[in-house]
Structures are given as structure tokens and as C-alpha cells.
Chains A and B, each alone.
Chain A
Amino acid sequence: MPSLKDLRNRIKSVQSTRKITSAMKMVAAAKLRRAQEQAEAARPYAERMERVLASVAGRLKGSSDAPRLVTGTGKDDIHLVIVATADRGLCGGFNANIVKAARNHIRKLLADGKTVKILCVGRKGRDSLRREFRDKIIDLVSFAGQKRLTFADARGISLRVTEMFEAGEFDIATIFYARFRSAMAQIPTAQQLIPVALPEEAAQDEKAGPQALYEFEPDEESILEALLPQNLAIQIYKTLLENAAGEQGARMSAMDSATRNAGDMINKLSQTYNRQRQANITKELIEIISGAEAL
């Protein structure tokens, strides 16, 4: 049986833990709002980009001289797997879920005899993949310590990926991230980046009219050449933003339940403490009474 002093110390320490987790929850909630706003702000660009891409791609469909970013290399021997996770932990199963999805994918590719290269975005993913695939990780991109993610960060990654592709260092690129559904639910998702899955030409929508009537300046090929890398960058930007929002959401709910658990713990401990105290008093009383009776 722990002494009263021990119990008091336990209670005090759990109380300060609760203070920390509830503060972290507040911080995560504020950051989540900011991250969501940023993701929201990036949406119009992505939507319009998709529309333009669809109308350009519609023209090129089936032609053999489409850029390689669309057609791919025609092989699937070398896979680049981009694993986007958070830089910090303490956010529930967020990182673990992404890593698990990526790990399963990588194992399957390896079992099929493919070559795999891993590019980690965010430290946590590297930390957990390093154990199994140390020699396959080519680099780590980390935004730790950065207040907010900018489009330039995403473009940096996308430039690197395009360069590697041009140099023939891989055939297929896939990114793993967590799709943000709500603050409570993030779904680990794989998205193929290269070759690009072109959006289907929007079914002759409302008043836009037949889309094939566009004129191009300078011409379709050079527009597509400029559009595709930009599209890649925006796709990566989108995944990074969703990840950032998801991370904060996951942390918020993890810290919420930690705070609740700490509360339960405090209740239980104070109950034990009170019972113990009462028992001590009773014991002392019995001693006094039986001492008096003996006289």
C-alpha cells in the first residue's frame, strides 16, 4: 500500500501532465484552424488548374507525342515512394498509419522484384522506415521549425522529383499521405504522381460550351510542358497541406483523450488517497479506544 505522501505526489504529477496535454490540445486546435484555412485557400487554384489541364489534355489524348510525364517511361521497374508524414510525434496514430500503408506497399513492390527508392518528407516517417529500409531512403525533406508551409516548399520537392524523372532514376512515383476528412479522421492514402493521371475532360458542363474550341498560345505542347510540372507541384502542395491539417487534427484528438485519461486517473487516485486517509484515522481511533479499555 503506497503511503499518503506517495499518493499526494502521484496526484500532483498527473495534474501537471493534464495541464500540459490540455495546453497542447489548445495549441493544436488553433494550428488546425490555421492549417484548414490554408488548405481552403489553395483549393481554387487546384480546381482551376484541373479545368485548364483537362481542356488541354483533351486535345492531346491519343497523340503519341504527349510529354513523358503523362505517358511515363513505359516501364515499371523502379518505384519512387514519397512518404509524407509529420515532423513531430504525439499525434496519435497519424504517423504510424501513413508509415504502415507505405511499408505494406514497399514490401509488396520488393516481393515483386522491383527496385524501390524512398523520399521522406517529414522526420517521423524516416525514423520509422529507417529500421527496415535504411539503404533505400534517398533523402529527407523536413519543414521542422517552419511556421507555415509555402508553395515554394512544395515546388522544391516537385522540381527534385521531375529532375530525377528526367534523369531516368525512376519510372513511377507514388506519394503516401493522410487525406484529411475531419479533425478526427485522417485516411492514409496513396496517390500516383508520375505518370500523371489526367483528369477526364469535364463532361460538357453547363455553359462552358464545347471545350475543344480553345485557341492556344504559343501551342498545346508548350503549354502542357509548362502546366504539368506546375500541376505536380500543386498536387504535392495539396497533399502537404492536408497532412499539416491532419497532423494537427490527430494531435488535437490525441491530446483530448490524454487530458480525459489524466482526469480519470486523478479521480481514481484521489479516491484511493481519501480512503487511505480515512483508514489511517480509523486505525488510530481503534488504537486509542482499545488502549483506554485496557486500563
Chain B
Amino acid sequence: MAETTNFELVSPEKLLVSQPVEMVVVPGTEGYFGVLPRHAPFISTLIPGVIQIYEGGQIKERIFVAGGFAEVTEDRCTVLADEAVPLDEIDRAEVEQRIKTQKEDLADAKSDAEKAALQARLDVSNAMIRALDTGH
């Protein structure tokens, strides 16, 4: 078996993944980045997007994250996600419904802070749809 790095995905509510992987691609704020074994130590914030776990050069698993942090060292990669859902468990109709109500809420929002919070939530939902369409 090829060299692996220990990948961990945790959300506040539980530990979702903890396994050695060959490569994992993470949606960093400044672009998606791939983590291979012996990656330089590195901490980044995340944007809403898809984590791809590779095995044998193929994507084995796709998990949607709504944002968070990633900590990478030579032998492990830890993702602290605000919210994480495997891509194939997302219900498209439900997300579309959510986008509709969020857009309405956004139109009704008064204060700037409220608007920003709603916009952030809308962005997450939009990213979900994009993830379903394109796989990343």
C-alpha cells in the first residue's frame, strides 16, 4: 500500500472520519489544496466546499463541509468543520427549498449584521448545490 497520512474530519457534534488516506483535497480559503503524506505543516481556514478523499488515484469519498479549519502536519491532516455531510446524503430538493426561504429572509433583513449572517448561510446552500452539480 502507498504511503498514507492520517486524515481526521471532526464536527462539533461528532468525529466523522478518522482513517489513513493516500491523498485528500480540502477547500481552503485561498483555493483547494491537496494533502499528501509529508506535507509541510500548515493551518488554513476553509470555505464551503467538498472534501475529496482519494484512494488508488480515484476519489473514494466526497464530503461537503460548510467551512471551518484545517491543520496539516507531516503525518496528519485534521479538518475542524462547522458542519459536514457526505455528498450523497444531501437532498437536493430540500436544499433548493432552503435557498428559496433564505433568499426571502435576506430580502426582509434589516440590519447589516443580520444581512451578513443570512448571506453566509445562503452561500453555504449555494455551495451545496454547486457541489451536487460538479462534485467539488
Query: Which A residues contact B (CB, under 8 angstroms)?
Result: 38, 41-42, 44-45, 48-49, 51-52, 55-56, 150-151, 154, 163, 207-209, 213-218, 222-223, 226-227, 230, 233-234, 237
Contact = CB atoms under 8 A, between A and B. Distances in A.
Interface residues of B, number: 26
B80 A45 contact: yes
A151 B83 CA distance: 9
Given A45-B80, A51-B71, A217-B29, A56 B12 contact: no
A151 B13 contact: yes
A215 B11 contact: no
A217 B15 contact: no
A218 B30 contact: yes
A222 B45 CA distance: 9
A227 B69 contact: yes
A216 B12 contact: no
Interface of B: 8, 10-15, 28-30, 40-45, 68-69, 71, 73-75, 78, 80, 82, 113
B45 A215 contact: no
B71 A209 contact: no
14 contacts: A42-B12, A42-B14, A45-B12, A48-B8, A151-B11, A209-B41, A213-B41, A214-B41, A214-B42, A218-B44, A222-B45, A227-B69, A230-B80, A234-B12
B44 A217 contact: yes
Contacts of A41: 13-15
B128 to A, nearest CB: 17
Contacts, number: 81
Contact of B43 (A44, A163, A223, A233): A223
B67 to A, nearest CB: 9
A55 B80 CA distance: 15
A291 to B, nearest CB: 81
Nearest to A154: B12
Contacts of B75: 207
Nearest to B68: A230
Contact of B40 (A215, A223, A234): A215
A163 B14 CA distance: 27
